[in-house]
């Protein structure tokens, strides 16, 4: 298992007239979680795209338990429970506020895809080698 | 069962550098579907909020099958499979392109909540009366 | 002079906790205005990109007079005061609510650019021919 | 004069199909700059709203010189050139990439307004006292 944490602050633009973060923004926060998880491993999603692999999202799910509010400093916990074997990778996300209350949990499934052909690919070897030690 | 359709055009702002609609925007499109579904019933979500009831989202799920592209005219099909009995309502959404290909399907669960107290409420009587004939 | 009008409805996602449309969304609305202006001329921005020309924005200005609210049906008036001679084009935008009150006015300057080289280009001949009659 | 700097990383959601940050996102970045400028002074915009003052934007302008790209770590420089005397405050923003190239500059004018009445107000005394030493 590999787990990573990162923080971000809720922007005014993310709030809605209910006075809370509009729900679709949490999916953007999840993506920040994924990007920082890969960076903490010493690689980046940007490098992966440069190397010709991109990761379209095929499935996204979120449960909203408590609202995030403007200016809240959120902690995004991103977990990879299994090492991906084929073209598919599944991230689990949890978002906490400063009182360590769970606000939102979710799961996002992405495919590794060749950027030019959009054909299914596998996780780049370089990332696989970094991740393997977490799953043995 | 109640089903409603509406259309919207993909904006440039909704695309990402993969050349497709960024996934979190589909949840905004789903919401357009819900708003127009209620409008087609002769009521509006805006009126519901004025009447003191708001509808926070508690669960959102989407599967992405094919990418939507810039300037695509999308059809959003919004379905209520059951008449809500308590504080909970569940919408099913499907998004099609102009070639009638299914691009994305999803399910969004919302609660009826009193705007001031944020306590659970039920569907406004006025909306219930309009919807009942679709479920008998 | 060429003027065009289109309408759009304010989405919940566009509101903020002040209960009004968050200001940066107006620039997205302006873009809807430009896209529909070109469509009303019988061409589309999408076709222009396919033909190898894109239009990055180099300058954007907006004045906010009255707030747009959730579910408001807005009219976006888009005006081309001069036929562009070189690589530069300037659009004037005005946004009105259903009571015909001016909510926001703005000006956006874009360049015609070759998509592959990002070098300055001129307006595609096809669009120029359609526009010329409005400026004589 | 008061100047403040903060950093943020470009999210995938902020890019468009031109492969660069979509222009309206810069106005959201400007707002991050303002929020962090106030925080660095020992106050927050969130506290100001709690104290009954909000700050709607009345004018926003940006010039786009070079594109910001996905995953770029941007520096937002926010400057207050004059201490506001009445209900009006003007922020100057500059955004730089990691190579210290200026990507975008802008100016945003906001009003101090009473949250309940939406009547013009002045800068809260607490913030004025913190700012005054920078302007003498």
Q: Is residue C28 flagged as an active site residue?
A: no
Interval A95-115 mean pLDDT: 98
Please report the pLDDT score of residue C123 as a whole number. Answer: 95
Interval A83-90 mean pLDDT: 94
Contact status of A122 with chain B (Cβ, < 8 Å): no
Contact by Cβ (8 Å): A38, A131: no
For B12, name the nearest residue in chain C, comparing CA atoms only: C31
Please report the pLDDT score of residue C86 as a whole number. Answer: 92
d(CA A76, CA A5): 6
Interval C3-17 mean pLDDT: 98
Q: CA of B1 to nearest chain C CA: how many angstroms apart?
A: 25
Of C13, C49, C70, the CB nearest to B46: C70
State yes or no: pLDDT of B81 exceeds 90: yes
* Beta partners for residue D91, in sequence order: D108
Q: CA of D23 to nearest chain C CA: how many angstroms apart?
A: 7
Please report the pLDDT score of residue B68 as a whole number. Answer: 98
Q: Distances from the Cα of A84 to the Cαs of A52, A131, B131, C28, in angstroms?
A: 18, 10, 45, 38
Of C27, C64, C67, the CB nearest to D24: C27
Please report the pLDDT score of residue A16 as a whole number. Answer: 98
Please report the pLDDT score of residue A36 as a whole number. Answer: 98
Contact status of D60 with chain A (Cβ, < 8 Å): no
Interval B22-46 mean pLDDT: 98
For D103, name the nearest residue in chain C, comparing CA atoms only: C58
Contact by Cβ (8 Å): A17, A67: no
Contact by Cβ (8 Å): A20, B118: no
Do D27 and C24 make contact, defined as CB atoms within 8 angstroms? yes
Chains that touch D (3 or more CB pairs under 8 A): A, B, C
State yes or no: pLDDT of C59 exceeds 90: yes
Query: Which are the contacts of D90, defined by CB distance < 8 A and separation ≥ 6?
Result: D80, D81, D82, D84, D107, D108, D109, D110
Please report the pLDDT score of residue A136 as a whole number. Answer: 85
Tens digit of pLDDT per residue, chain D (136 long)?
Answer: 999 999 999 999 999 999 999 999 999 999 999 999 999 999 999 999 999 999 999 999 999 999 999 999 999 999 999 999 899 999 999 999 999 999 999 999 999 999 999 999 999 999 999 999 999 8
Q: Provide the domain count of chain A.
A: 1
Contact status of B98 with chain C (Cβ, < 8 Å): no
3 state SS of A49: helix
d(CA A67, CA A99): 13
Q: Select the residue from C24, C104, C118 to test the D interface by mutation, using most D Cβ atoms within 10 A.
A: C24
3 state SS of D28: helix
- From B128, B86, B93, B123, select the one nearest B108 (Cα to Cα): B93
Record the pTM: 0.98
Q: How confident is residue B115, by pLDDT bands cut at 50, 70 and 90? A: very high
Query: Which are the contacts of D49, defined by CB distance < 8 A and separation ≥ 6?
Result: A70, D115
Q: Is the ipTM of this complex over 0.95?
A: yes
* Per-residue model confidence as pLDDT tens digits over C61-119: 999 999 999 999 999 999 999 999 899 999 999 999 999 999 999 999 999 999 999 99
Active site residues of D: 16
For D46, name the nearest residue in chain C, comparing CA atoms only: C17
Of A16, A24, A70, the CB nearest to C15: A16
Interval C36-64 mean pLDDT: 97
d(CA D21, CA D67): 7
Contact by Cβ (8 Å): B34, B48: no
- From C128, C73, C116, select the one nearest C95 (Cα to Cα): C73
- Residues of chain D in contact with residue A46, where contact means CB-CB under 8 angstroms, are 70-71
Please report the pLDDT score of residue D85 as a whole number. Answer: 84
Structural domain including C18 reads 2-135
State yes or no: pLDDT of C136 exceeds 90: no
* Maximal C-alpha separation, chain B: 47
Contact status of B15 with chain D (Cβ, < 8 Å): yes
- Mean of the per-residue pLDDT values for chain C? 97
CATH of the domain at A120: 3.10.129.10
Do C24 and A16 make contact, defined as CB atoms within 8 angstroms? no
Of C31, C49, C70, the CB nearest to B11: C31
Do A63 and B59 make contact, defined as CB atoms within 8 angstroms? yes
For D67, name the nearest residue in chain C, comparing CA atoms only: C56
User: Residue A17, class by beta-carbon neighbours within 10 Å (0-12 exposed, 13-18 middle, 19+ buried)?
Assistant: buried
Looking at residue C98, the DSSP 8-state letter turns out to be T
Interval A36-46 mean pLDDT: 97
Q: How confident is residue B88, by pLDDT bands cut at 50, 70 and 90? A: very high
Please report the pLDDT score of residue C124 as a whole number. Answer: 95
Among residues of chain A, what percentage have pLDDT more than 90? 99
Q: How far apart are the first and last CA of chain A?
A: 9
């Amino acid at each position: 298992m590999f787990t990573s944490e990162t923080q971000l602050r809720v922007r005014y633009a993310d709030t809605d007239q209910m006075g809370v973060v509009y729900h679709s923004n949490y999916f953007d926060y999840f993506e920040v979680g994924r990007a920082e998880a890969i960076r903490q491993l010493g690689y980046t999603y940007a490098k992966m795209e440069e190397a010709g692999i991109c990761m379209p999202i095929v499935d996204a799910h979120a449960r909203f338990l408590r609202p995030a509010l403007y200016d809240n400093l959120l902690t995004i916990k991103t977990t990879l429970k299994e090492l991906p074997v084929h073209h598919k990778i599944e991230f689990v996300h949890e978002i906490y506020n400063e009182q360590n209350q769970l606000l939102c949990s979710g799961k996002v499934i992405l495919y590794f895809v060749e950027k030019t052909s959009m054909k299914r690919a596998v996780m780049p070897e370089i990332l696989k080698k970094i991740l393997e030690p977490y799953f043995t």
